[in-house]
Amino acid sequence: MLPNGSPFPELALTTTDGGELLLPAATRGSYGVVLVYRGAWCPYCVGQLRSFTKRDELLKAEGITTVALSADSRITAQQTAQDLDVPFPVGCEADVPQVAKALECYTDPDVTFFQSTGFVLDPHGGILLALYSSGPIGRLGPADVLTFAGRHRDKNAQAAS
């Protein structure tokens, strides 16, 4: 597992709109949340995406940028993002062995999809928190991220004064 304090690995993924999602560059300058989800077929993942979608404005107001990624095909990921009205970038068609190695996340036994993994990044792309799951449950929620980032920001502000 990637230790807290280490830099988030550089990744380039296709997005649902055919663009490119560059990590950690996509979150640089703000706190970042990277949601690695199992796929559109996973109800827990859909619930997590829905939860972050509903709270996206609040997260943005607190200086937090969200991105998500999976191994889903572009068509499947695009449909999921459209159905949920996801306002943040969604990377798709991730190479599971390559990305799993870079992020040190769990996969299914056949290495065809990721297990839920979540990261909170500092404004420079460093890992503040990594949450690894070896199955369908155990994942970041928006309230957790808001609290964690707020405490980190307050701690840094106190240290600077």
The pLDDT tens digits of the residues spanning 44-98 come to: 999 999 999 999 999 999 999 999 999 999 999 999 999 999 999 999 999 999 9
Report which secondary-structure segment, H or E, holds 12: strand 11-15
Grade residue 153 by pLDDT with cuts at 50, 70 and 90: confident
Number of domains in the chain: 1
CA-nearest of 101, 93, 143, 87 to 120 is 143
4 domain-assigned = no
Using only the alpha carbons of the chain, give its radius of gyration: 15
60 domain-assigned = yes
113 domain-assigned = yes
Contact of 64 with 31, CB cutoff 8 Å: yes
1 domain-assigned = no
Question: What's the average model confidence in pLDDT over 32-43?
Answer: 98
Distance in angstroms (rounded) separating the CA atoms of residues 78 and 46: 13
What pTM was computed for the model? Answer: 0.95
pLDDT, tens digit (0-9, with 9 covering 90-100), for 96-130: 999 999 999 999 999 999 999 999 999 999 999 99
pLDDT of res. 150: 83
Give the CATH number for residue 46: 3.40.30.10
For 10, which DSSP code? P
Containing structural domain, residue 110: 11-160
User: Tokens 């796929």, residue?
Assistant: 39
3 domain-assigned = no
